Amino acid sequence: MRPPFPRSLRGQLTAGLVALLALACAAVGATTVLALQGFLVGRLDQQLSASAGRFAASLEHEAHPDADNRPDTRGQADGTFGARLLRGTPTQAAVVRAATDAAVPLTPHDRRTLAALPTDGSGRSVRLSALGGYRVNAVTGDDGDILVTGLPLHPVEETVHRLEAVEAAVFGGALLATGVVGALWVRLSLRPLRRVTATAADVAELPLASGEVAMPAPVPVADPRTEVGQVGTALNRMLGHVGSALEQRHAGEERLRRFAADASHELRTPVANVRGHAELALRHRGPVPAPVRHALERIHAESQRMTRLVDDLLLLARLDAGRALERAPVDLTRLVLDATDDARAAGPDHRWLLDLPETAVTVTGDEHRLHQVIGNLLANARTHTPAGTAVTVRLADGPDGVRLTVADDGPGVPDELRPEIFGRFVRADHGRSRAAGGTGLGLAIVHAVATAHGGTAGLRSRPGRTEFTVTLPHGDAGGLGG
What is the pTM for the complete model shown?
Answer: 0.50
The per-residue DSSP string of 280-329 comes to HHHT--S---HHHHHHHHHHHHHHHHHHHHHHHHHHHHHHHTTPPPP-EE
- Higher pLDDT: 129 or 435? It is 129
| Per-residue confidence band for 69, with pLDDT thresholds at 50, 70 and 90 | low
**Rounded distance, CA 10 to CA 188, Å?**
10
pLDDT at position 433: 41
Q: What is the CATH number of domain 325-480?
A: 3.30.565.10
Q: 472 φ, ψ to 5°? A: -135, 140
Please report the pLDDT score of residue 164 as a whole number. Answer: 92
pLDDT at res. 16: 85
Looking at residue 33, what is its pLDDT? 92
Q: pLDDT tens across 203-243, in order? A: 777 766 666 667 777 777 767 777 777 777 887 788 778 77
291: pLDDT strictly greater than 50: yes
pLDDT of residue 283: 79
Cα atoms in the 13 Å half-sphere on the side-chain side of 311: 10
Q: Write down the pLDDT at residue 436.
A: 46
Pick the CATH number of 53-152 from 3.30.450, 3.30.530, 3.90.1200, 3.40.1280: 3.30.450
- Give the per-residue pLDDT at 371: 92
Average pLDDT estimate for 341-346: 91
What is the spatial distance between Cα 377 and Cα 388, in angstroms, rounded to a whole number? Answer: 17
Tell whether the model's pLDDT for residue 34 goes beyond 60: yes
Q: 191: which residues sit within 8 A by CB, 6+ positions away? A: none
Instruction: Note whether 420 and 407 are within 8 A (CB).
Output: no
Find the mean pLDDT for residues 24-34.
Answer: 92
Residue, of 448 and 75, whose pLDDT is higher: 448
CA dist 441 and 449 (Å) reads: 12
Q: Is the pLDDT of residue 408 over 50?
A: yes
pLDDT in the model for residue 266: 67
For the chain, the domains span 1-51+154-189, 53-152, 205-321, 325-480
Q: What is the pLDDT of residues 440-481, one digit of tens each?
A: 788 888 998 898 888 999 999 999 899 999 999 986 544 454
Residue 334 — pLDDT band, cuts 50, 70, 90? Answer: very high
> Which CATH number applies to 205-321?
1.10.287.130
The residue ranking higher by pLDDT, 256 or 469, is: 469
Instruction: Tell whether the model's pLDDT for residue 403 goes beyond 90.
Output: yes
- Closest to 457 (Cα-Cα) out of 391, 386, 401: 401
Mutual orientation of helices 442-452 and 367-383 as an angle, nearest 10°? 150
Q: What's the confidence (pLDDT) of residue 3?
A: 53
Which has more pLDDT, 482 or 198? 198
pLDDT confidence of residue 40: 92
d(CA 393, CA 343): 11
Q: In this predicted structure, what is the pLDDT of residue 391?
A: 94
**Residue 405 predicted with pLDDT over 90:** yes
What is each CA distance from 199 to 195, 217, 344, in whole angstroms? 6, 8, 54
Confidence of residue 144 (pLDDT cuts 50, 70, 90): confident
C-alpha angle 362/360/472, rounded to 5°?
35
Average pLDDT over residues 151-168: 92
434 confidence band (pLDDT: 50, 70, 90): very low
- Report the phi/psi class of residue 53: left, alpha or beta, with left for phi > 0 and alpha for psi in -120 to 50: left
Q: What letter would DSSP give residue 363?
A: E
Closest CA to 304 of 282, 324, 322, 329: 282
